[in-house]
Amino acid sequence: MVYITRKERFSAAHRLARPDWPEEKNRLIFGKCSNPNWHGHNYSLWVTVKGEPDPETGFVANLAEISRLIKVHILDKVDHKNLDMDVDFMKGRRSTMEMLAVAIWEVLQEPLKASGCVLHRIKVRETEKNSVEYFGN
Amino acid sequence: MVYITRKERFSAAHRLARPDWPEEKNRLIFGKCSNPNWHGHNYSLWVTVKGEPDPETGFVANLAEISRLIKVHILDKVDHKNLDMDVDFMKGRRSTMEMLAVAIWEVLQEPLKASGCVLHRIKVRETEKNSVEYFGN
Amino acid sequence: MVYITRKERFSAAHRLARPDWPEEKNRLIFGKCSNPNWHGHNYSLWVTVKGEPDPETGFVANLAEISRLIKVHILDKVDHKNLDMDVDFMKGRRSTMEMLAVAIWEVLQEPLKASGCVLHRIKVRETEKNSVEYFGN
Amino acid sequence: MVYITRKERFSAAHRLARPDWPEEKNRLIFGKCSNPNWHGHNYSLWVTVKGEPDPETGFVANLAEISRLIKVHILDKVDHKNLDMDVDFMKGRRSTMEMLAVAIWEVLQEPLKASGCVLHRIKVRETEKNSVEYFGN
Amino acid sequence: MVYITRKERFSAAHRLARPDWPEEKNRLIFGKCSNPNWHGHNYSLWVTVKGEPDPETGFVANLAEISRLIKVHILDKVDHKNLDMDVDFMKGRRSTMEMLAVAIWEVLQEPLKASGCVLHRIKVRETEKNSVEYFGN
Amino acid sequence: MVYITRKERFSAAHRLARPDWPEEKNRLIFGKCSNPNWHGHNYSLWVTVKGEPDPETGFVANLAEISRLIKVHILDKVDHKNLDMDVDFMKGRRSTMEMLAVAIWEVLQEPLKASGCVLHRIKVRETEKNSVEYFGN
């Protein structure tokens, strides 16, 4: 079993706040991330799939195809966008790193499977200091 | 003459667009940076001052003081903010890297001079691929 | 289950040597790390906790609180300090990366648990080339 | 149990192609990596071993010895070389990251064991975007 | 005057050797870079242009256009190629970083000027340790 | 004229303090860098030389030779050492980045000249945030 990872980047705006909470509570819980006029990040995204290398090609997976799937299903929707206003798969979720990683897993799992890949891990890094990893349920 | 540099980071939202232009023209000139719902970046900022090292301390400048000035005059105003809506020194300017570097120069030059420092260079990096430098007029 | 990681940095001096060994033996076993007058590093520290995201906030853990705990319990004690002379939780231990990671785990586990976090991993990097990971016993 | 990792770098040429396939098929399957006149990378290699820290030294393993083994068995054979023409342990294999990681595992496992180390993971990164990990069968 | 920089990456094979020198002399002068079967690198390329920001857009230059020019004139010719065999603008030159930077300057200067940009600097990095800069004659 | 740069790293202990000042004054001026029991850093060092590329080799300078000179004259003296106690060329100087850069210039200038190289710049980085550059008086 070999694990193969593709790293991508995207730039997006977001804020952390519940519309059903008053601003003071959003400020208390989400701190400076609750700024009403948004803020943003250069996100890094790592997508890891696993499998046995194909004896004919030496590939676990074709990274060109994985890269294309990430572009179509994720990057085209989030890059230079607002995670809270523009992204269909984030509707109804807080745009925390945790929720973003879970959502990206849910979006990518089927297309990757259809390409013969078994998704193993989604890693999202928001700043140099903060990151999350999700391995499915 | 020795040049000493302090690097800081901040995360902000912005968009590139002129309010007096129709959306199609903003899209044509500013591309994906014109997204109406904003996008954002982790910005890196380098502030360089120059001078002769003080023979008593070996310092050209006290980086703790430079860091404090950058925090008070820049970071507290831009970090987790919207460059186009929340930042006084960006009012009336496009939030390009170029304009941001020039504005930061203008904001920092006087406080640094009052601390005995000669500002040499402002460098701003928006993404891993794009950066600007400004050395004053 | 989502894993969330906070990265911090600190700068410290240390040396690797046993006081009960002669210098030649320390030199033989610990190499250049045994320099009697110390040397030092910019250490990187990653603290990973795990859990289910809170449906209300989308957070596994509040990184501002984790960051505060790391600051109070670790960074304030090791940053710009001597790991062998100044740090209470390293008393009686070799200041190898391995021992440092184990000690940081032991120091952080209780305060993190009291904040509702389950510690998963401590990673310590001493130089670009050398790092360790500890997952508890 | 503590995991300790040594990172090394090397620069090598390679191409992805099967000699028993026509160029068009190699181009179709391996894309630009099939360029007949080779291309190359700065590879990063992480070797992770695991164990209990020795109570006398605080070491899981002596990184100087691990570094020497990686140099003798891997770096001296691949650095500034052609992976497909010059490297004995890659003979008969595609020089994909996957095959390279598996081969490096096979080469290092015995010498590391003879030095008292238990190999845990080989990670190979070909570009900033692409990497693999192998943990043994 | 503001300086704006675009960073790109490419992966290529090369060797350092003069065909009119015997192998021993190539080995003596060019060291391990003379390996007859090639080696390779992930190159980083920084292209810097300078100018006054346009008061209407806040741009010194449109980075999307600069990026397109670098792609068409440089990256499409060198990425996943052999600098000594595949690249027209390197014909008759040693593929040292120095010669590569000078050649890229010569190739890009005219197209950039035609787009209204004044080329200021070409920087090429071959490995983490080695880089060159060229500012024109 | 092409500028060529070699980057190296070293790990060292130091403190900032004047022996003729009381501890309170050292603490006031040098802050946490005055810790009496030392602290330390992973320093990065960039050495830049300039010249015309040799038409025969395409080299401004032989980086293997520059690397050797840096090793013999600098790294062997500072790596895994105490800058204030172990390093001859720092005797009588504060071990600030500024003084370190000036001292390294003074040490390297002659050996580089003897090898046909014109030293252009010494850059020293102490932490991710703090660096200095020196171009000679």
What's the token pair of residue A39?
Answer: 């803020």
Of A95, A96, A133, the CB nearest to C3: A133
Q: Does the beta-carbon distance from E4 to B131 stay under 8 Å?
A: yes
**DSSP-derived secondary structure letter, E32:** G
Cα–Cα distance between C57 and A126 in angstroms, integer?
A: 17
| Residue C102 pLDDT | 98
Tokens 């890196």 locate to: B44
Q: If pLDDT is split at 50, 70 and 90, which confidence band does C116 have?
A: very high
| Residue A52 pLDDT | 96
What's the token pair of residue C29?
Answer: 């076993």
Of C9, C41, C85, the CB nearest to F40: C41
In the predicted model, is pLDDT for residue C74 greater than 90? yes
Q: Do the strands C2-14 and C81-82 form a parallel or antiparallel pair, or are they unpaired?
A: parallel
| Residue F91 pLDDT | 97
Give the sign of the dihedral formed by CA E41, CA E47, CA E48, CA E53.
negative
| Residue A39 pLDDT | 98
Q: How many interface pairs between C and D have CB atoms less than 8 angstroms apart?
A: 54
Cα–Cα distance between F108 and F106 in angstroms, integer?
A: 6
Q: What is the ipTM of this complex?
A: 0.96
Digit-coded pLDDT (tens) for B117-136 = 999 999 999 999 999 999 99
Q: Is E10 strand, coil or helix?
A: strand
Residue numbers in A near C1 (CB within 8 A): 134-135, 137
| Residue D50 pLDDT | 98
CATH at residue A128 = 3.30.479.10
Q: Which element (helix H / strand E) includes F25?
A: helix F23-30
Digit-coded pLDDT (tens) for D93-120 = 999 999 999 999 999 999 999 999 999 9
Digit-coded pLDDT (tens) for D9-67 = 999 999 999 999 999 999 999 999 999 999 999 999 999 999 999 999 999 999 999 99
If DSSP states are collapsed to H, E and C, what string results for B66-110?
HHHHHHHHHHHHHCCEECCCCCHHHCCCCCCHHHHHHHHHHHHHH
Q: Does the beta-carbon distance from B4 to F131 stay under 8 Å?
A: yes
Q: Describe the crossing of helices B63-70 and B97-114 by its angle, rounded to 10 degrees.
A: 130
Chain C nearest C-alpha distance from D89 (Å): 24
Cβ-based interface (< 8 Å): residues of F facing E: 1-8, 53, 56-60, 63-64, 67
Task: Say if residues E4 and B98 touch (Cβ distance below 8 Å).
Answer: yes
Q: Annotated catalytic, A8?
A: no
In the predicted model, is pLDDT for residue A137 greater than 90? no
In the predicted model, is pLDDT for residue B103 greater than 90? yes
Residue numbers in F near C128 (CB within 8 A): 9, 42
Q: Which of D33, D65, D73, D98 is catalytic?
A: D33
Which of the residues D16, D133, D135, D137 would you substitute to probe the A interface, choosing the one with the greatest number of A C-beta atoms within 10 Å?
Answer: D133
Task: State chain F's mean pLDDT as an integer.
Answer: 97
C-alpha distance from residue C91 to each of C22, C82, C85, E132 (Å): 20, 11, 8, 47
Give the mean model confidence (pLDDT) for residues A60-71.
Answer: 96
Percent of chain A whose predicted confidence (pLDDT) is above 90: 99
Phi-psi region of F28 (alpha: psi -120 to 50; beta: other; left: phi over 0): alpha
Q: What are phi and psi of A103, to 5 degrees?
A: -65, -40
> Range of C24's domain?
2-134
Tally Cβ neighbours within 10 Å of residue C65: 15
Q: Is D33 strand, coil or helix?
A: helix
Give the mean model confidence (pLDDT) for residues B3-30.
Answer: 97
In the predicted model, is pLDDT for residue C67 greater than 90? yes
The count of structural domains within chain F is 1
Of B12, B33, B40, the CB nearest to A12: B40
Digit-coded pLDDT (tens) for E53-73 = 999 999 999 999 999 999 999
Q: Is B38 strand, coil or helix?
A: coil
| Residue C137 pLDDT | 81
Q: What are phi and psi of C25, to 5 degrees?
A: -70, -40
Closest CA to C127 of C46, C45, C41, C47: C41
Residue numbers in E near F56 (CB within 8 A): 18
Closest CA to A121 of A51, A42, A50: A50
Task: Say if residues E50 and E60 touch (Cβ distance below 8 Å).
Answer: yes
In the predicted model, is pLDDT for residue B137 greater than 90? no
Digit-coded pLDDT (tens) for B71-95 = 999 999 999 999 999 999 999 999 9
Task: State chain E's mean pLDDT as an integer.
Answer: 97
Q: If pLDDT is split at 50, 70 and 90, which confidence band does F137 have?
A: confident
Q: What are phi and psi of B95, to 5 degrees?
A: -90, 45
Q: How many interface pairs between C and F have CB atoms less than 8 angstroms apart?
A: 75
Closest CA to A101 of A50, A64, A136, A63: A136
Q: Does the beta-carbon distance from C80 to F128 stay under 8 Å?
A: no
> Which residues of B are known to be catalytic?
33, 80, 126
Closest CA to E74 of E94, E93, E60, E88: E88
**DSSP-derived secondary structure letter, E114:** H
